[in-house]
Amino acid sequence: MMLDGALTGQGTLALPRPHLLFLGDATNPLDAKTAMGLRDWRREDCLGQLRLPGCTVDLGLPEFDLERARAVGARSVVVGVAPSGGAIAPGWIPTLRRALELGLSVVGGLHDRLADSPELAEAARNYQAQLIDVRVPPAGLSVATGARRSGKRLLTVGTDCCVGKKYTALALTRALRQAGASATYRATGQTGILIAGEGIPMDAVVADFLSGAAELLSPANDADHWDVIEGQGALFHPAYAAVTLGLIHGSQPDALILCHSAGRRVVDEYEAYDIPALSYCIQHYEAAAALTNPAARVVGISLNTRDLDDAAAEASCEVLQRDTGLPCLDPMRHDPAPLVNGLL
């Protein structure tokens, strides 16, 4: 599955490609979202994977050590794991330093910036190698104006983190284009930014400027143009709901797609928190979005059915479609057109 190279128009990041995807010692596949996103949407740029001892996550890509990756043409190592909280593990440093020593760029999207690691910064200087941090918001952000702007916007929202908001936005951007619409994917997190080559890492923005950053990310456009904005967090998440709300208000979405992961009952890593019923989620997302766009509606459900077989996936979508009265499908498995047909 590869991304149309022109999906976002002219990128603003010059990322040295191809990449070697570094998985550290990850054991939770949900922590490897960045690596998986690049594998799934920029496969042509991903040479292979590098895993430390103890790592149980497998992208299904060829294994490389740094030396061999370099020998066959790798130009950068992308830190493909993002543990909750976004810190660089001390155990990763020797490998990343060695990559710099070999002249490879090191690309990161964690809250901890690579350039803030004295060891990595020194190695980058010594070996004239590049450290590229993509989770750095643009300078000069300001507070939201709240003013309505031209163009149409679709925002993916979720019942939780890691349910498919980014994949859904990418798939729907493609579906809109295939249906003849003008559409732009707007990345809001490190993985989306690495895939698209541009975007704003919303969770790294100073809180006061969250909605202002979302306004900047999806500026005024042609009346029939769709910005398809990658959602963040969830309104029912005890740690990240603020990011979600700021993104909703600044995006002023006309349409929302609610993303859910089949069978997920509690918030990932927050097991004391139940995921609400989808009808409750729909009602609360529409109420939140109504502040800056009273016409905002949830127009479909994107169900992540990765862990189900075809029959079970089909059945799960049918249940949710009946319960909510909205089209429900898995855009990674089914034709996503029914989620956007109503918009055209």
* Encoded amino acid at 211, one letter: S
Q: Does 219 bind a copy of itself (CB under 8 A)?
A: no
Q: Does 130 bind a copy of itself (CB under 8 A)?
A: no
Q: Does 337 bind a copy of itself (CB under 8 A)?
A: no
Stretch that binds a copy of itself, among 45-53, 73-81, 138-146, 329-337 (CB under 8 A): 138-146
Closer Cβ to a copy of itself, 60 or 294, answer by number: 294
Site for a copy of itself (CB under 8 A): which residue of 240, 282, 326, 327?
240
Residues 6+ apart with CB under 8 A from 223: 150, 151, 152
Stretch that binds a copy of itself, among 40-48, 167-175, 178-186, 238-246 (CB under 8 A): 238-246
Q: Does 147 bind a copy of itself (CB under 8 A)?
A: yes
How many degrees, rounded to 5, is the angle at CA 47 between CA 46 and CA 51? 95
Closer Cβ to a copy of itself, 3 or 247, answer by number: 247
Provide the minimum distance between the beta carbon of 155 and a copy of itself in the complex, in angstroms, as a whole number.
14
Rg, C-alpha atoms of the chain: 20
Query: Using CB under 8 A as the criterion, what x/- string covers residues 274-303 for binding a copy of itself?
Result: ----------x--x---xx-----------
Q: Does 117 bind a copy of itself (CB under 8 A)?
A: no
* CB contact burial 260-271 (16+ within 10 A = b; e otherwise): bbbebeebbebe
Q: Could you tell me the end-to-end alpha-carbon distance of the chain, in angstroms, rounded to an integer?
A: 25
Token pair belonging to 118: 């004295």
Cβ count within 10 A of residue 177: 18
Q: Which of residues 41-80 bind a copy of itself (CB under 8 A)?
A: none
Site residues (CB under 8 A) for a copy of itself?
Answer: 84-86, 111, 142-147, 202-208, 210-212, 236, 238-243, 245-246, 249, 270, 272-273, 284, 287, 291-292
